[in-house]
A and B are shown apart, each in its own frame.
Chain A
Amino acid sequence: MLLQGTDLQILTQPLLRFDMRSSVLDWLGIILKRDLIIAFRRSSTYITPLVFFLIVITFFPLALGPQESLLSSLAPGVIWIAALLASLLAVESIFSEDFRDGSLDDFFVSLEPSFILVFAKVMIHWLITGLPILIASSLAAIILYLPLESFVPMILSLLLGTSFMSLLGALGAALSLGKSAILSAIIVLPFSIPTLLMGTSVVTFSLNNQDYSGFLMMMGAMLAIGIPLLCLLTVEALLLNYD
């Protein structure tokens, strides 16, 4: 690995320094810091989903022809499908590295709330896939001639939707730990359909100048129940490997 000196210290810190006095938030912070450093050391982790997203977007004008009215009416669906697929791309890597080198074992014997670990992993996954997609989506919206008024609803729906996808992805990754990467995507895809439907509806409604807040609230509700429940189920799924 490329890590050395102080970085290495951070990586080993949780287990050396952590004791009962630290709060859950300290724990979260330590994991986040450690994983972000690892992610940024390897630029492919956050570049790959981004490039994949933009290339898929580019396919559509090339395949369907550059007709502006057609593209702008298809834009919500195209952007959303590309975002969903791109966010599934790196799902397999959420736990696999830690599982292989044994740090996952250490987390589980530490007796600290293990759903905090899962929550941190989900946040990391969102930061390296969801966030880049969110930023790139404005570019996608421009090349697909999405009207400027629909930018805000698009960003808002993608923010909620990609977060939910990261949660689902973590569960899929935990269930298919050590298996082929495509399995986790297959498991997750059927469950992502509601997100796709609501997300595209938000943007389509804004295209028709209609109130889209209902769908945003629905997506928020999925996130609200999804964060605690999916994290807990992901912990269960991870424990499958430690029976």
Chain B
Amino acid sequence: MNPLRKQRLYALIAVLIGSLLATWLVVSALSENMNLFYSPSEILEVDIDENVLIRAGGMVKQGSIEKSKDSLNVRFTVTDYQNELIINYEGILPDLFDENAGVVVRGNLKTDGTFKAIEVLAKHDENYMPPEVANIIEANE
């Protein structure tokens, strides 16, 4: 075989093996938990130090928001429909923060199992519709 062709053949084989191996690794990596983000269920399983900053999130449970009358303190429960996590926060909440809406919080997990948030962010979903349509959908449910 002429050297140039041999060289191309080697290169092709190397790229092929490399991409096969890489695909296999990526597929198996994606089945692992790679979130720097914890749901209320995941937070029960891990053992995280009190002063490590983490992110957690889920849906705000209906009727769980307790706002303090004389300060910016707020306490609410986040749920993933299996487990729940109580969150304490002091500060201004984003406009879209509401019951049954997604939130992402950043803060520390206390030893008593509650979460002290230093930041609350509202997550909105990928659905967009006019208010009339939303009302109809709600009425049908």
B6 and chain A: residue at smallest CB distance: A113
Nearest-neighbor residue (CB-CB) of B17 within chain A: A228
Is B15 touching A221 in the complex (CB atoms < 8 A)?
Answer: no
A225 touches B33 (CB 8 A): no
Question: Which chain A positions have C-beta within 8 A of B11?
Answer: 113, 115, 228, 232
The answer, yes or no, to whether A201 is at the interface (CB within 8 Å) is yes
Q: B31 to nearest A CB, angstroms?
A: 8
- Give the residue of A201, A209, A218, A222 whose beta carbon is less than 8 angstroms from that of B48: A209
* The one of B10, B34, B36 that contacts A24, using a Cβ cutoff of 8 Å: B10
- Near A by CB (< 8 A), chain B positions 8-60 give 10-11, 14-15, 17-19, 21-23, 25-26, 28-34, 36, 46-49, 51-54
Q: Is the CB of A222 within 8 A of B52?
A: no
Q: Name which residue of chain B comes closest to A220, CB basis.
A: B25
Q: Does A243 contact B (CB under 8 A)?
A: no
**Residue among B18, B33, B46, B54 making CB contact with A227, cutoff 8 Å:** B18
* A2 contacts chain B at the CB level, 8 A cutoff: no
- Across the interface, do A232 and B22 meet the contact criterion of CB distance under 8 Å? no
Q: How far is the CA of A112 from the CA of B3 in the complex (A)?
A: 7
A113-B15 CB under 8 A given contacts A210-B46, A213-B32, A222-B22: no
- Is B18's CB under 8 angstroms from A215's CB? no
| CB within 8 Å for A225 and B22 given contacts A113-B7, A213-B32 | yes
B129 at interface, CB cutoff 8 A:
no
| Complex-state Cα separation, A224 to B23, whole angstroms | 9
Asked if A6 CB lies within 8 Å of chain B CBs, one says no
Bound state CA distance, A125 and B47, in angstroms? 39
Chain B contacts for A204, CB-based, 8 A: 36
Q: Tell me, yes or no, whether A162 is within 8 Å of chain B by CB.
A: no
Instruction: Name the B residues within 8 Å of A111 (CB-CB).
Output: 3-4, 7
Option from A20, A73, A210 in Cβ contact (under 8 Å) with B33: A210
A216 → B minimal CB distance (Å): 8
Given contacts A115-B11, A208-B52, A228-B15, contact A214 B30 (CB under 8 A): yes
Taking a contact as CB atoms under 8 Å apart, the answer to whether B18 and A228 are in contact is yes
B13 CB, min distance to chain A CBs, angstroms: 9
27 contacts between A and B (CB under 8 A): A112-B7, A113-B7, A115-B7, A201-B36, A204-B36, A207-B49, A207-B52, A208-B48, A210-B46, A214-B34, A215-B29, A217-B25, A217-B26, A217-B28, A217-B29, A217-B32, A218-B34, A220-B25, A221-B21, A221-B23, A221-B26, A224-B18, A224-B21, A224-B25, A225-B18, A227-B14, A231-B14
Interface residues, chain B, CB within 8 Å of chain A?
Answer: 3-4, 6-7, 10-11, 14-15, 17-19, 21-23, 25-26, 28-34, 36, 46-49, 51-54
Given contact pairs A222-B22, A228-B11, a sample of 7 additional A-B residue pairs in the complex whose CB atoms are under 8 Å apart: A113-B11, A208-B49, A211-B33, A213-B29, A214-B34, A221-B26, A225-B18
